[in-house]
Structure 1
């Protein structure tokens, strides 16, 4: 039985999973869920994830949502070093993944939602939300920039799930205006991922193709 992965190819969260699966050599069956058509809120999909969010992984009787949890599941299943090479590294990877969810990615999501509201629905952005998101992104980016001043990757000497988790907001930052380019070490790290991790570059292209199509459809 194949591992099914539900999601929209324009999603940075789906990108985290498809990139990680490709790196680990895990075969997945992609099932498209068009978020812009509301397909994540059909009765059938809500049985998989009552929150109506993607991605969702289905592996036999196991159903897992939240991209970070999916990646941890796949890494455990594949016995992959993306989870860290030592016990200490594994906890450090988890530390950065949890930090990413609470202190980093969430604010880029705020910016994306403001961009999407303006671009797709004609709603003016909420200045207070944008200011809050930009301030928190800058504060977190300062920490990342300092951390990456002497490192190639977030944890240890190799790519881990921490890198993939933290890199996710780069999927949309040129649309949303996230101020990543103010931080040279952060930008150099992201470029290094694109240059040395083929799956990360390939999934970026998939996101761009999908989002470009959505914007073009609006005329």
Structure 2
């Protein structure tokens, strides 16, 4: 039975899953959930797939799993992928950065997207205090990342892991929500290396860009 992944092509979180699945050679059936039409907010979606009304969601037979990081760990475990790390120490470091990214990093990138993109689409004013708070948190985290990535091509060890995708998530909307990433040269060099050396990451960037930019154009929004 093919694994189903529910999500919107404009989602950086879905991007993390589809990229990892491609690299691992795992066949998935993508089921489109239009977030702009509120399709994840229906009672049917919430009751069967995710009570939070968020994507992506994995369905593998009768098993349902949400949160992109958990989905990637599940997929990697099915094929014993080196994306999990190749030693016990590496596997723990991969988990460390994945957990760190969720708590210290991506949440604030999402806040900036909500303020700078979501509210613009809805015709609402940005809350500048919220923007300043999120940017401050991202800068504090980016300083840590920039130091960690000095002389490195990957987050953990000498090869690509799931930690790279989790930390790279905010780059999916860099030109729209404008997270303060370009002030950190090691961070930018690391992400440029991902785009150049991981074709699957570059391919999903094009997909996200097309989806979001097409939607913004359709509603007459220029950021």
State the TM-score, normalizing by the size of structure 1: 0.99
Contact 1:117 1:124 in 2 (8 A): no
Matches within 5 A, 1:141-180: 141-180=142-181
Task: Find the counterpart in structure 2 of residue 112 from structure 1.
Answer: 113
Deviations 1:50-106 (A, max 9, x none): 110000000011100000000000000011000000011100000000000000000
Matches within 5 A, 1:1-219: 1-46=1-46, 47-219=48-220
Deviation at 1:44, TM superposition (A): 1.9
Deviations 1:157-201 (A, max 9, x none): 000000000001000021112110000010000000000001100
Q: State how far apart, in whole Å, the 1-side matches of 2:213 and 2:36 are.
A: 13
How many matched pairs?
219
Q: State how far apart, in whole Å, the 1-side matches of 2:64 and 2:79 are.
A: 17
Q: Which runs of 4 or more aligned residues in structure 1 lie more than 4 Å from their structure 2 counterparts after TM superposition?
A: none
Q: State how far apart, in whole Å, the 2-side matches of 1:146 and 1:172 are.
A: 23
The DSSP-based 3-state class of the residue aligned with 1:31 is: strand
Deviation at 1:8, TM superposition (A): 0.2
Q: State how far apart, in whole Å, the 2-side matches of 1:32 and 1:209 are.
A: 15
Per residue, is there more helix in 1 or in 2? Answer: 1
- Cα RMSD of the aligned pairs, angstroms, is 0.7
The DSSP-based 3-state class of the residue aligned with 2:191 is: helix
Q: State how far apart, in whole Å, the 2-side matches of 1:116 and 1:123 are.
A: 10
